[in-house]
Amino acid sequence: MVGQTCRQALESMPDTFQSKQHYLSPVDHILPPVYTNFCLAFRTTRFRESQSILTEGVQKLVSLIPWLSREIVRCTDNGLLSIQASTGVEEIPMITFSTDGSLSLKQVARAGTSTGFGELRLLRKLTPLPLFPSSAGPVYVVRFKVTSLSDGVVLAMSACHSAFDAAGAGHLMRHLAKCCHGANPQGCLDDKGLRQDVWAIAASNPSKQLRVTDPRPVFARAAETFEGDLEALAQKTMVSCLTISGARLAGLKGACNALLNARLGPNSASPVQFLSSHDILAGLITRVIHPNPKVLDGASDVRVAVNFRDQLTPWWASGYIGNFITLVPAPQSPNPTDKDVATAQRLITETNRRNILAIDLAIRGLEYHDAYFGPVLDKAEEFLTHALYPTKVCVILPKRRSQDGAEDPDWEVLLYLSREDHALAMESDLLGSFVKR
């Protein structure tokens, strides 16, 4: 939660474009200040025009959402986070520019396998802010950077994870695209019912008021010390970009749902079709990168990221840009009931945030490749992001624009694994049967 208490913030919001689409929910997964980085690569040689368009777009975006230009500070009285006006100390502009003619779109595109250090070095060239802010400097809400390459430009966004999750950052990027080609981001429908649903979930949380906590003890150290560890860890990390066959995944989904329906019996009036391709892929990757999960107190130590927006009625409006993601443990029962699942979904607790061992991060539904930035930039050819170390992480990337009308479009995933785990994953027959070579 940013600023006041959850209830005060909800009750004090005026009915404006900004409050309807850009408040932070009372069930935010408030993380320590860490910048998540998202990059869009465009093919163009009209560099000056591109810079001008993106500058005007960012200015318009900030005029619509003024708090984007501000800083995040921790309140000393309650430990919550607050967005405040910039102090002006070591001020970094909302958008900065650089040129690197030695890089091309092909060099920054995701392809094959690279070392963690190589990716870390590339992202440091392209992004406006480091992964960890300086302990002595300000923590910005968001900043942008445009890098001109030999045959295109890269627009990078560093968004503070204390204010945005990946989905929220994706919506923010689409707002920027509209600002760049002259359109105005549209406001949401009335969200009073949405606020009630959000507050009901928050009320079920045992802590009643979410405080800032460190999900990994290492984050309690100064950012400067962890940056050094990050480089050492990156040297031991392999990053692979894999294309997963959409058709094969759909086939496995159909088989799993058929098996579930068979267990219900022929007289069932409500056939089950609740396993999605995303569910199947998340389970597949989790099995590959975490084949022998430990069992603690009857529950697996594997945690999978779940987006609760789709669990709410009414659903989240598409323009929401706050944090709304949490870690949910699977029910302990081998045959969980609806009540078991509902109970698991209410467990938004400190324990979940502190036990991140293996995560599937999905940004598949974010339409990064479809965001139109106007006639000069058009739409992005490539999307890049960066995951934290040291964890076994799979990032399910956004769907590309066109796959020739394929009924089951392919999926792209990023794997961040140690060299040992990477070797085991690449030798996995299970994973290999779904990867397109």
pLDDT digits (tens, 9 = 90+) for 97-150: 999 999 999 988 876 788 888 888 898 899 999 888 877 788 898 999 999 999
Average pLDDT over residues 31-43: 85
**CA–CA distance, 14 with 26 (Å, rounded to integer):** 17
* 70-74, 290-294, 329-333: range with lowest mean pLDDT: 329-333
Asked whether residue 318 is domain-assigned, the answer is yes
pLDDT of residue 166: 74
Report in angstroms the alpha-carbon separations of 302 from 203, 287, 387.
26, 10, 18
pLDDT of residue 26: 33
- Residue 177's SS3 state is helix
**Two structure tokens written together for 27:** 């069930």
What is the DSSP secondary-structure string of 393-426?
Answer: EEEEPPPPS-STT-SS--EEEEEEEEHHHHHHHH
**Would you say the pTM of this structure is higher than 0.85?**
no
Q: Is the peptide bond before 133 cis (omega within 30 degrees of 0)?
A: no
- Percentages helix, strand, coil for the chain (3-state, rounded to 5) are 35, 20, 45
Q: pLDDT: is 96 or 287 the higher one?
A: 96
Asked whether residue 269 is domain-assigned, the answer is yes
pLDDT of residue 75: 59
Q: pLDDT: is 28 or 369 the higher one?
A: 369
What are φ and ψ of residue 52, in 5° steps? -65, -45
CA nearest to 210, candidates 2, 21, 34: 2
The pLDDT of residue 10 is above 50: no
pLDDT of residue 224: 55
pLDDT in tens, 144-182: 999 999 999 999 999 987 777 777 788 889 889 999 987
Q: Which residues contact 6 (CB under 8 A, 6 or more apart)?
A: 26, 199, 202, 209, 210
Contact 22, 164 (CB under 8 A): no
**Two structure tokens written together for 351:** 């324990």
CA nearest to 224, candidates 295, 290, 110, 137: 137
Most confident of 96-100, 240-244, 306-310, 411-415: 96-100
The count of domains in the chain is 1
The residue segments making up the domain with residue 176 are 6-432
What are φ and ψ of residue 47, in 5° steps? -70, -45
Most confident of 110-114, 136-140, 259-263, 337-341: 136-140
Number of H helices, E strands in the chain: 14, 16
- Residue 155's SS3 state is strand
pLDDT in tens, 39-51: 999 999 999 999 9
Asked whether residue 140 is domain-assigned, the answer is yes
pLDDT of residue 323: 42
**Two structure tokens written together for 17:** 């474009």
CATH number at residue 374: 3.30.559.10
The pLDDT of residue 204 is above 80: no
Asked whether residue 146 is domain-assigned, the answer is yes
Q: Which residues contact 198 (CB under 8 A, 6 or more apart)?
A: 10, 25, 26, 27, 312
pLDDT of residue 249: 93
Average pLDDT over residues 318-344: 47
* 10-19, 96-105, 303-312: range with lowest mean pLDDT: 10-19
Asked whether residue 437 is domain-assigned, the answer is no
Contact 128, 114 (CB under 8 A): no
* 271-285, 297-311, 420-434: range with lowest mean pLDDT: 297-311
Report the percentage of the chain scoring pLDDT > 70: 58
Average pLDDT over residues 13-37: 47
